[in-house]
Amino acid sequence: MRRMLTYFFAALTLCWATLAQAAIAPTLLQPLAGDDPDARVEAVARIAATGSPDARKLLQALLDEELMATPAGQLLIVHDGQAVDAASGQAVALPDGAGGVVVNNRLRGAAEAALSGLALLAPAREQRLAAAQALQARDLDPAQAPLLRQALARETDADIQGILRQLVATADLQSGDPARRKAAVTALADSGTPALRPQLQAILARNPDGTYIETDAALRTAAATTLAAIERRATRNDIVANLFYGVSLGSVLLLAALGLAITFGLMGIINMAHGELLMIGAYTTYVVQSLFRQYLPGALDWYLAAALPAGFVVAFAVGVLLERSVIRWLYGRPLETLLATWGISLVLMQAVRTVFGAQNVEVANPAWMSGGVTVLGSLVLPWNRIAIIVFAVLVVGAVWLVLNRTRLGLFVRAVMQNRRMADCVGVPTGRIDMLTFGLGSGIAGLGGVALSQLGNVGPDLGQSYIVDSFMVVVLGGVGQLAGTVIGALGLGEINKFLEPLAGAVMAKICILVVIIIFIQRRPQGLFALKGRSVE
């Protein structure tokens, strides 16, 4: 028994020594020392297909330009003056005449793709998923198919398996085997990846004399079926994307117009400085973010929790100051109100330029609002836009509660319907005017906080939304909260569906023309007019 164990351990030691001496077969390495570019790229793929740690080490050395070749064709990995035989992994003396392996762009790209493929065999799921997603963005070579199949055979995660099946089929599209190409075309029917269109269209291409380049009729039929499926899926994704981004744009317009619906719709004030109140909310967010970075860096992801009330309070205070100092003397004089608030907007923009500078400032999204959720296979819905849609719903609900379930809302509606009667029964109309204008300004500040999450913040931020805000209020019906919501969402959806057809500028022109025609036919907007003008 002891003799048998001795023989067993001796055989095990011999096998281990053999494996150590032949980490990578020398025949796989020889093309890298040659001058044939196609053979070198193919060698990289074959080395990666072994899936061994030595292959990863060799490819990394190739990218780091630490791979050298001797005149005899031996490959060495040289790091910090120490040479290691690439085939056996044993340390050797660096011979005279050894030169570095030249790495051109094509070989570098092949090595990077091969390393990404090797990461598919990593133990961590996140690393394998990242590697699979990285390979989706690359042009796959047919030589990578064996490594992809090896990774697919070992993979247990359903999400990664789906990506790997698509990658294997994409690599097989370039195979010389017609049966494998047909199977790949059929397998890609459910992928819906637009990047596959050129390859499928190449299968259906014709020669100048009208004959098909691809002679296999079954392969052409499968390619036509897959291409039609991809087109249908792409059309569906485009429709869903336009619906989502239309709601997103409508939510932005709603946040921008909601405060104007109060100041203009309920009070009759043509406030041309409303856009600058949005800007004030956005700059307040920037200031809060800067304070968190300096004093609370560990809680930076939660700066929005402080920016929301701060944006409302600052914009509310500015609105109250404007109403008490300028606007309260101009009630009932719309032209003077327009000119005065336009001048105020210029003052506010110049004040911001003086304090913060003329350049845009960056407001970063918190970590929990970065990235997006993938739906329908390839459509990504950004978290920041989803958050703004939810925020717009909450703001609309809060405004409705204030106007319909609070004492302030009761007084606001009373003053709106009959100002003189409300004054006669003891309603402090002057104070209600001040609070109403402050409420509309504070809501604009909340809109500015939301807008800061979609792009950079600058002194001209509000100018991009003032015209659209007035269009939303007028279209929905002056003084009508429900009309403002419907008008904002309707304009957002129409704009997003028109942009791909007519372009961004022409889409806005078309929308403006439609609104003008609509107002000519129905001056009160979507809902009947209620306000002081009824008197």
Q: Is the pLDDT of residue 235 over 90?
A: no
pLDDT in tens, 489-526: 888 888 888 877 777 777 777 877 877 787 777 767 77
Question: pLDDT confidence of 17, banded at 50, 70, 90?
Answer: very low
Express each pLDDT in 199-231 by its tens digit.
777 778 888 887 887 777 887 888 888 888 888
How far apart CA 221 and CA 218 sit, in angstroms, is 5
Q: Say yes or no to pLDDT of 51 above 80.
A: no
In which band, very low, low, confident or very high, does the pLDDT at 6 lie, cut at 50, 70 and 90?
A: very low
At residue 353, the pLDDT reads 92
| pLDDT of amino acid 533 | 42
Q: What is the DSSP string of 113-148?
A: HHHHHHGGG-SSHHHHHHHHHHHHTS---GGGHHHH
Nearest to 315 by CA among 272, 358, 277: 277
The predicted pLDDT at position 287 comes to 94
pLDDT at 9: 34
Backbone φ and ψ of 217, nearest 5°: -65, -35
Name the phi and psi angles at 506, rounded to 5. Answer: -65, -35
Q: β-strand 91-92 against 82-85: which pairing, if any? A: antiparallel
Q: Which residue has the higher pLDDT, 133 or 341?
A: 341
Residues shown for the chain: 535
| Residue 531, pLDDT above cutoff 50 | no
pLDDT per residue as tens digits for the range 57-84: 877 887 887 788 777 777 778 877 778 8
pLDDT at 484: 84
| pLDDT given at position 98 | 76
Phi and psi for 380 in degrees, rounded to 5? -105, 125
* Res. 288: pLDDT tops 90: yes
Compute the distance between CA of residue 164 and CA of residue 158 in angstroms, rounded to an integer: 10
The pLDDT of residue 21 is above 60: no
Reference 265, options 64, 459, 463, 417; nearest CA is 417
Indicate whether 380 pLDDT > 50.
Answer: yes
CA proximity to 400, closest of 267, 261, 248: 261
Predicted pLDDT at 328:
86
Cα→Cα distances 458→281, 283, 370, Å:
11, 8, 21
Q: How confident is the model at residue 13 (pLDDT cuts 50, 70, 90)?
A: very low
pLDDT for residue 60: 81
For residue 307, pLDDT over 80 is answered with: yes
Which one is predicted more confidently, 489 or 417?
489
pLDDT given at position 83? 81
| Cα–Cα distance for residue pair 412/148, rounded to 1 Å | 67
Q: Over 80: is that where the pLDDT of 437 sits? A: yes
pLDDT at 412: 84
- pLDDT, tens digit, 9 for 90 and up, residues 116-149: 777 777 777 887 787 777 777 666 666 677 777 7
Return the pLDDT at 10: 39
For the cut 50, the answer to whether the pLDDT of residue 56 exceeds it is yes
Amino acid at 440: G
Q: Which residue has the tokens 């001797």?
A: 70
Helices (H) and strands (E) in the chain, counts: 21, 7
- The domains of the chain are located at 23-172, 236-534
Mean pLDDT, rounded, of the chain: 80
> What φ, ψ does residue 238 adopt, rounded to 5°?
-65, -40
Could you give the CA distance from residue 233 to residue 192 in angstroms, rounded to a whole number? 6
pLDDT-based confidence at 394, cuts 50/70/90? very high
Are the CB atoms for 52 and 24 separated by under 8 Å? yes
List of residues 6+ apart from 272 with CB closer than 8 A = 338, 341, 342, 344, 345, 466
The percentage of the chain sitting over the pLDDT mark of 90, rounded to a whole number, equals: 14
Structure token digits, residue 261: 């619906």
Residues 24-36 have pLDDT tens digits of 777 777 787 777 7
CATH of domain 236-534: 1.10.3470
Contacts of 353 (CB under 8 A, 6+ apart): 459
Distance CA 196, CA 79 (A): 41
Q: How confident is the model at residue 7 (pLDDT cuts 50, 70, 90)?
A: very low
Res 82: pLDDT:
79
* pLDDT at residue 194, rounded to an integer: 66
Q: 3-class DSSP state for residue 39?
A: helix
Assign residue 146 a region: left if phi > 0, alpha if psi is -120 to 50, beta otherwise? alpha
Q: What percent of the chain has pLDDT over 70?
A: 89
Determine which of 305-309, 343-347, 429-433 has the lowest per-residue pLDDT on average: 429-433
Q: Out of 277-286, 329-338, 393-402, which region has the weakest mean confidence (pLDDT)? A: 329-338
Residue 535 has pLDDT above 80, yes or no: no
